[in-house]
Amino acid sequence: MCGICFCLHTQPNVAPIDYTPLNARGPDFQKQYGPIALTPDLYVTFAVSVLSIRGFKQEQPFVDDDGNILIYNGEIYEAPFQIKESDNDGVLLFEHFKQCSTDMDICQLISQLEGCFAFIYYQKQTNCLYYGRDRLGRRSLMYSMIDDNQSNLKMILTSVRLQQFSYTELDSSILHKLSVKSTNSTFQIDTISYVKPTIDIISSEPPDALLTELENDSVFQNISTTFLNQLQAAVRRRLANLPTLCRRCKRSTDGTLRPENGCPHPKLAILFSGGIDSSVLTALADRILPSNEPIDLLNVSFFSDVRAPPPADRQTGLQALTELNPARQWNFVQIDVDVNELRHYRENVIKTVIYPCSTVLDDSIGSALWFAARGSGKLHPVNTVYESTAEVLLSGLGADEQLAGYSRHRSTFQAHGWKGLENELEMEINRISKRNLGRDDRVISSLGKEVRFPFLDERLVNYLRSVPIWYKADLRLGRGIGEKYLLRYIACHSLSLFQSSKYPKRAIQFGSRIAKLENRKEKASDQCARLTIDDED
């Protein structure tokens, strides 16, 4: 995980900027590079912070003798070029950027990448800046256009909010190109749509029979087998390049992240409610990682009264723990947060990284994710103080959006049938970058950690798009059965998660009990006064 930024300014010395939020994303290395003169009156300065995960500890920006520059944040799992587990994907991407001579060359290159990333590339020959996010928007990038006569700043593009300017999240479906006019030192921004993959839809008509009656049907069996294989491959891709050192031991090395004899501490943590999504990811991670690797399970709860019974996610988390492989060391981390601690960290950290998201729902989910990802709590059952040493986290985000897991999907199905539900799920994926992913990336990365989303693997997403909705969910069936039916089926029949496969959907804000903790009258869609940050005009 990294923080990346460029500032466009009208004088050689850029106005002072506090890069603290950017640097928090990359604790291993920070640097400012520039200014680079685009015209006699227009300059660009780059800033980057690096969290090294794969290959060797690698400084940025990437700069060559011709003056090309790349700053890059993310993980590339598949590409039109070979990437080994020990390779630094940023180095390889830079080499292939330099082979691009046209806008479409760059657009084609980015369109073929599979992974979660954001980038800023300066092409010296054309004096242009190209920038963007992966097509699903799993890494944050946002911009501010500045019209202030008191400042020499004209534009900031950054992973996280810097200064008190107003920002907008960058559209993840398009490549952006900033070019300058040397005659009058102005600039313009053009966009090019990424190339969308072709998806062959499985031919089928809506069945009269319930999905429970079609489990032995050859079509459903093929779909469930392929789904399991695709999901397991998605998890494997996200675990293949884990460092062999935890974040604490990494600090004392000579730069290698994968020494042959690694440390015995956890390198992976899972955001673990005990629900179907996180339980399936945990069972698949258990299949993939060596049996001697411990894994942290991060379970967060909020309390206004310490005498209150544990919230639902704590109960389901502990129940799900009993279904996991007993031969592995599972560190079940009980993260208990009271109102005072919540208010302190929201005011000093969380509201800055949630921005520009601003609803009550953003506050609840963002705050819950921040405390869970921090990983500070007590180990079950010994109740000793514990802090997770893992820098890589897995999240189950994306399962509900693709497999009809939310209660609103049931309402849509009842009102508009299969076609309405299908359209609703397509809309969910198209808006997930602005609704969820940018926020979640900023929140978790502010802790110097990286979150990965197996359910949002490109190959898995494209496969699920090819599967008719009536093979993925059947909302004619009750809660805890019909929603995410396909996922529940493989959990029960392939992963032996007999109890976890039956839990109904419970959103993190309710399962952790953060919702209504401070104000029982507010609605999720309301603007949240607790997140208010004053913008400079």
Residue 326, number of CB atoms within 10 A of its CB:
8
The single residue listed with the structure tokens 């991670």 is 285
- What are the backbone angles phi and psi of residue 90, rounded to the nearest 5°? -65, -40
If DSSP codes are grouped into helix, strand and coil, which group holds residue 169?
strand
Cα–Cα distance, 140 to 159 (Å, whole number): 5
Cα–Cα distance, 138 to 236 (Å, whole number): 18
If DSSP codes are grouped into helix, strand and coil, which group holds residue 10?
coil
- Position 305 scores a pLDDT of 78
Beta-carbon contacts of 442 under 8 Å, excluding residues fewer than 6 positions away, are 140, 159, 160, 353, 354
Tell me how far the alpha carbon of residue 35 is from its chain's centroid. 31
Q: Do domains 2-193 and 263-531 have the same CATH topology?
A: no
Cα–Cα distance, 267 to 253 (Å, whole number): 15
How far is the CA of 88 from the CAs of 93, 128, 139, 213, 270, in angstroms? Answer: 9, 25, 18, 48, 24
Under a CB-based contact definition with an 8 Å cutoff, are residues 52 and 22 in contact? no
- Position 203 scores a pLDDT of 84
If DSSP codes are grouped into helix, strand and coil, which group holds residue 190?
strand
Q: Say whether domain 263-531 belongs to CATH 3.40.50.620.
A: yes
E strand segments, 283-387? 295-303, 330-338, 376-379, 385-387
Residue 134 identity (one-letter amino acid): D
* 42-50 sheet: strands from edge to edge: 29-39, 42-50, 2-9, 153-158, 142-145, 168-169
- Whether residue 263 lies in the annotated active site: no
Per-residue pLDDT tens digits for 84-111: 777 788 889 999 999 999 999 999 999 9
- Position 204 scores a pLDDT of 87
Domain ranges of the chain: 2-193, 263-531
The single residue listed with the structure tokens 């940050």 is 533
- Position 82 scores a pLDDT of 79
Low-confidence ranges of the chain (pLDDT < 70): 1, 55-56, 254-257, 534-537
Residue 376 identity (one-letter amino acid): S
- Position 516 scores a pLDDT of 77
Q: Which long-range contacts (CB under 8 A, 24 or more apart) does 349-352 make?
A: 349/446, 350/443, 351/530, 351/531, 351/532, 351/533, 352/21, 352/160, 352/161, 352/446, 352/533
- Position 255 scores a pLDDT of 60
Please tell me which residue in 2, 116, 128, 357 is annotated as part of the active site. Answer: 2
The CA angle 369-445-142, to the nearest 5 degrees, is 105
Cα–Cα distance, 246 to 488 (Å, whole number): 33
Cα–Cα distance, 101 to 421 (Å, whole number): 43
Count H helices and E strands in the chain, helices first. Answer: 16, 19
- Position 520 scores a pLDDT of 76
Cα–Cα distance, 126 to 111 (Å, whole number): 21
Per-residue pLDDT tens digits for 314-361: 999 999 999 999 999 999 999 999 999 999 999 999 999 999 999 999
Per-residue pLDDT tens digits for 185-228: 789 999 999 988 888 888 888 999 999 999 999 999 999 999 99
Under a CB-based contact definition with an 8 Å cutoff, are residues 50 and 60 in contact? yes
**What class does CATH assign to 2-193?**
alpha beta
3-class SS string, 68-108: CEEEEEEEEEECCCCCCCCCCHHHHHHHHHCCCCCHHHHHH
- Position 537 scores a pLDDT of 36
Residue 11, number of CB atoms within 10 A of its CB:
13
